[in-house]
Amino acid sequence: MKIAFFSTKPYDKIWFEPMGKEYGFDIHFFEAPFQRETVTLARGFDAVCIFVNDYADAGMIEQLYEMQVKAILLRSAGFNHVDIQAAEGKVCVLRVPSYSPEAVAEFAMGMILTVNRYTHKAYNRTRDFNMSLNGLMGVDLYQKTAGIIGTGKIGQAMIRICKGFGMHVLAYDPYPNRSLDVEYVPLEQLMASADLISLHCPLTAETKHIVNRSTIAHMKQGVYLVNTSRGALIDTDALIDGLVAGKFGGVGLDVYEEEEGIFYEDKSGEIMRDENLARLMTFPNVLITSHMGFFTKEAMQAIAKVTLDNAYALENGLPLVNSVK
């Protein structure tokens, strides 16, 4: 099988290159993202492998079908960047449903601890021998209420972590897992009751802008909000207005609504033309990272293995357990 990898970074090759040889695949790595302008690079390949900030719309999928590309291999759990309906019956879409839930959940808690206790600011101060504590006061998480939106594997890992901190945990999910030791409540109740809200749900038509002007208005004053899932779960304009109004104690964003073309790239020598992102960076109680919650050795190794297992199953007519329909 010939596979074209897009949006390739050096750390992708660490696992995919040797594993690909073990599977007997012919892998070609492209640094370019997968988009309308680059879809023709897939000609002659059996499958394309794309990442979270690539996309495959209906027109691109039709081109893949005409080029006899059999599959789109996703190096991610989310699939909102692929037109699944257009792919049905033409190109198989295979994802990595789980790689390391703990990696993302641990990172989410790390963002909360950092933005709450200002450890990133304290680090910069003390390097200049500024030992003042002014402006660095946080709050105890112990006995506070955590609201977890989405109780899949990552949400479940986050629930365990929050309970380890002695927090009371509320959860919302349209498909509750009653085997979990957690209190499910309506979304409105969670928004109004939680001192900390952490998003762990996929991006769908129903969840887009689940954090918006209305839900922000129902949140507690001084609430902490963390998003390590997908940027469009939050209405960025509404978030900025809430920050200006002093609604939030702190906000941690590992994802951003318009991150495509920015995250995973070095833009340090350029003027940031995304005004909302530039403005978010000015708030002292906002911490932004570049969609790296998944980025551990264990997770990267698991992503590589499941992605190539998916390709192997397709090539050999085995059950496609990770097919997206």
Residue 259 is among the residues annotated as catalytic for this protein: yes
Amino acid residing at 55 = Y
* C-alpha to C-alpha distance for 208 and 230, rounded to whole angstroms: 9
Q: How far apart are the first and last CA of the chain?
A: 23
Catalytic one of 81, 200, 230, 257: 230
Catalytic one of 75, 81, 200, 291: 291
Catalytic one of 259, 265, 275, 298: 259
Tokens of 35: 């988009």
Residue 291 is among the residues annotated as catalytic for this protein: yes
Count Cβ atoms below 10 Å from residue 274 Cβ, excluding itself: 16
The residues assigned a catalytic role are 230, 259, 291
